[in-house]
Amino acid sequence: MKIILLGAPGAGKGTVAKLLSEYDGSVQISTGDILRSAVKTGSELGKKAKAYMDAGDLVPDELIMALMRERLAAPDCRQGFILDGFPRTIPQADALKGLLRELRIELDFVVSLEVPREVILDRLTTRRTCSNPDCQEIYNIKSNPPLPDGRCKKCGSLTIQRDDETEAAIQYRLETYEKKTSPLIEFYRTEGLLRQFPSVSSVETVAAVKRQLGK
Ligand code: AMP
């Protein structure tokens, strides 16, 4: 499958992307995960991105496009991909359209995950993420907790609350989403690619996406 997942922070893009990727082997491409790993390893990209990320701001479009140009041209994307957290702005969506044309890649559709704000706030403040950059498993202290000592069930590393998941940072990220990312819904509606999925569980969303794909 070749799809984009759109949705506010905390709408469940990461979980849905992971499940879809396990289903047919399409690669999950999360710009957030790539950037967090870059910050951890201290690469050039990481150094440039860190301050924006800590503030809950978007990283500049040029940096993201340089990263995605390379990523989408990689051979593993030929089989299929799930874009999780990209594009995030109209300039990114425009640039992606050109890039896909260049690479002769056609998207199946764009999945818009529609989740009420109260649900999002609750989910984000209770989220914990594995601190191992190669793992980054996501937990929720209410519905899917890590081990009792706070360690990751998969790799044993400590799970943490991300710096950008404090209450204040979340409010700011949601405002950024409204201002910069939500216009993408109209953009993809106009392109005839938008498919809207109301707030349900990740498993139900995945089933609905598969039906939409005719699988
Ligand atoms: P996420 O894990 O998708 O919520 O991303 C975490 C942070 O990484 C965001 O708050 C942004 O600072 C940055 N980021 C991730 N994807 C993008 C993108 N497509 N454009 C700009 N910044 C991004």
Q: 10-65 pLDDT, tens per residue?
A: 898 999 999 999 999 999 999 999 999 999 899 999 999 999 998 889 999 999 99
pLDDT at residue 162 above 90? no
pLDDT at residue 175 above 90? yes
Residues 150, 159 contacting (CB under 8 angstroms): yes
- Mean pLDDT score across all residues of the chain: 93
Q: Is the C-beta atom of 52 inside 6 A of ligand 1?
A: yes
Beta bridge partners of 2: 81
Beta bridge partners of 200: none
Probe residue for ligand 1, chosen from 53, 71, 136 as the CB with the greatest number of ligand atoms within 8 Å: 53
| Contacts for 132-137: CB closer than 8 Å, 24+ residues apart | 132/157, 133/36, 133/37, 133/40, 133/41, 134/37, 136/33, 136/36
Give the nearest ligand 1 atom to 52 CA. Answer: 12
Domains in the chain, start-ordered, CATH in brackets? 2-26+79-213 (3.40.50.300)
Using only C-alpha atoms, what is the Rg of the chain?
A: 17
Q: Which amino acids are annotated catalytic?
A: 13, 88, 127, 162, 173
* The predicted structure's pLDDT at residue 199: 74
Residue nearest to atom 10 of ligand 1 (CA): 56
Helix (H) or strand (E) run with residue 72 in it: helix 61-73
Q: Predicted confidence band at 71 (pLDDT cuts at 50, 70, 90)? A: very high
pLDDT at residue 90 above 80? yes
* The predicted structure's pLDDT at residue 163: 79
pLDDT at residue 69 above 90? yes
| Residue 33 Cα to ligand 1 middle (Å) | 8
Sequence letter at residue 81: F
Instruction: Note the pTM of the prediction, 2 decimals.
Output: 0.87
Beta bridge partners of 160: 129
Residue nearest to atom 6 of ligand 1 (CA): 32
Nearest to 121 by CA among 190, 187, 193, 172: 172
Residues 11, 120 contacting (CB under 8 angstroms): yes
- Name the CA dihedral angle for 48, 49, 55, 61, rounded to a multiple of 10 degrees: 110
Q: Is the C-beta atom of 35 inside 6 A of ligand 1?
A: yes
| Residue 154 Cα to ligand 1 middle (Å) | 24
Cβ contacts of 107 within 8 Å, gap of 6 or more:
2, 3, 4, 100, 193
pLDDT at residue 85 above 90? yes
| Higher-scoring residue by pLDDT: 116, 200 | 116
pLDDT at residue 212 above 80? yes
Q: Is the C-beta atom of 173 inside 6 A of ligand 1?
A: yes
| Residue 58 Cα to ligand 1 middle (Å) | 6
Region 132-159: what's the mean pLDDT?
A: 94
